[in-house]
Amino acid sequence: MSSEGYHVAVVGATGAVGTMMIRILEERNFPVRSLRLFASSRSAGKRLKFKDTEIPVEELKESSLRGVEIALFSAGASVSRTFGPVAVSSGCVVVDNSSAFRMNPEIPLVVPEVNPHSLKNHRGLISNPNCSTIQMVVALKPIRDVAGIKRIVVTTFQAVSGTGQRAVVELEQQVKAWVKGESMERSVYPHQIAFNCLPHIGSFLDNGYTEEEMKMVNETRKIFEDPSIAVSATTVRVPVFYGHSESVNVELKSPLSPEEARNLLAKAEGVTVIDDPKNNLYPMPIHAAGQDKTMVGRIRKDLSVEHGLSMWIVADNVRKGAATNAVQIAEILVRDGMI
């Protein structure tokens, strides 16, 4: 790196997460010497704003990332599998937001507030976890550090932005159609999403769980470096634009009171506690949208197990659940000289 910063690229720059990555790079004043934006051929030629300039979007090709030092990928698993290793072979460090490499034991799966130490052995490819996993492990880490975790039962209530911009538009159009008394068209989801809940995120697997649910199981174990943690997940798509919510029940290895958990979380990196139910104060997606903190509330004893806590966790899925987490990883790489 020169004193002027790094040569940075965003792959999938025109998508919901890609455009947010550009915004987060600017907001956090990441040391960008040059920024190149890549997408598919149909998006080539578009111009996106970064600071005081407009940068043209280029079509991604095998030679595109030569000379780039840091690339943030958010263009889907197939693109990452094709172009990620090519970028690494040209000397680029890739932070990938897709599911392509998450469970590869040789590739770090990183949440900066939880397991930044795993970056030390990176070989050029680093995975960003699933959005719903990120916010849960951020909230559970300080609790696990003190009391240990035996079992997690989580139900998610996930915003449509997790599917992409087309889903945001579909929900908006369905709501407008309902107000006008018109029929609601659907193309993104198998059922109407407006005023509905779909217990279906990702394809269904032979074990009856969905891909999204098993991501939460496997990624949580990998991030915490503990395959013994029992995890059961149910993931639900809800008619919310931005912000995933989660009901989490955690069985601990040793006792921890709700008050002790609140105090731990109040001091935890990346966490905001909103927990005053008597005054109707608890986290909601409208609080989390546009924020980078993971918000935790409704912290109470789980009455069904000896050492259990129940809580409600909310975060902006496009920011902390994707773009911000990726940029935070890049910041650690820069800070610790790992590029």
- Annotated catalytic residues are 131, 244
Cα dihedral value 273, 277, 279, 284, nearest 10: 60
Q: Are 154 and 136 in contact (CB under 8 A)?
A: yes
Lookup: tokens for 293: 């903190």
Residue 62: count of CB within 10 angstroms of its CB = 11
Amino acid letter for position 297 = G
DSSP bridge pairs for 235: 156
Lookup: tokens for 216: 């939460």
Amino acid letter for position 337 = G
C-alpha span between 26 and 79 (Å, rounded): 25
Q: Are 232 and 153 in contact (CB under 8 A)?
A: yes
Counting every residue written for the chain, the total comes to 339
C-alpha span between 39 and 24 (Å, rounded): 18
C-alpha span between 154 and 176 (Å, rounded): 32
State the DSSP H helix or E strand holding residue 114, giving kind and residue range, or none if neither: none
DSSP state of 16: H
Q: Are 132 and 212 in contact (CB under 8 A)?
A: yes
Lookup: tokens for 236: 């639900």
Residue in this structure with the two tokens 């809800």, named with its chain if needed: 238
Q: Are 56 and 37 in contact (CB under 8 A)?
A: yes
- Apex 160 CA angle, 155 and 164, nearest 5: 125
Q: Are 257 and 214 in contact (CB under 8 A)?
A: no
Q: Are 133 and 223 in contact (CB under 8 A)?
A: yes
